[in-house]
Amino acid sequence: MSVQDAEKDYLNLQKNKPRDSVFRRRFRKAHKYCEICGAEHDLEIAHIISKGAGGPDIEENVVMLDGPISKRLPWGESFRAAYAG
């Protein structure tokens, strides 16, 4: 099996892996505000590296965002580079 095939298999497993509901409840309880604008309503947990691209449900890979902000952001490499600092 080539490295590319192994990467594809891993990503397919991550895409089909169920979301961790316990993690999501804990994260929501600990993060009550949008990390960009400070809003307290219409919040969404957003993955920096998407679940579809193999991004895990871990605190370092998610942010709490106001729903409208989350929908406007340029997700992908540019967002990850900007968010990482």
Residue pLDDT, tens place only, 42-62: 888 888 887 777 788 888 888
Specify the number of domains making up the chain: 1
The CATH number of the domain holding residue 49 is 1.10.30
- The residue that leads in pLDDT, 22 or 82, is 22
Whether pTM exceeds 0.75: no
Structural domain boundaries enclosing 10: 3-84
Q: HEC states along 39-83?
A: CCCCEEEEECCCHHHCCCCCHHHEEEEEHHHHHHCCCCHHHHHHH
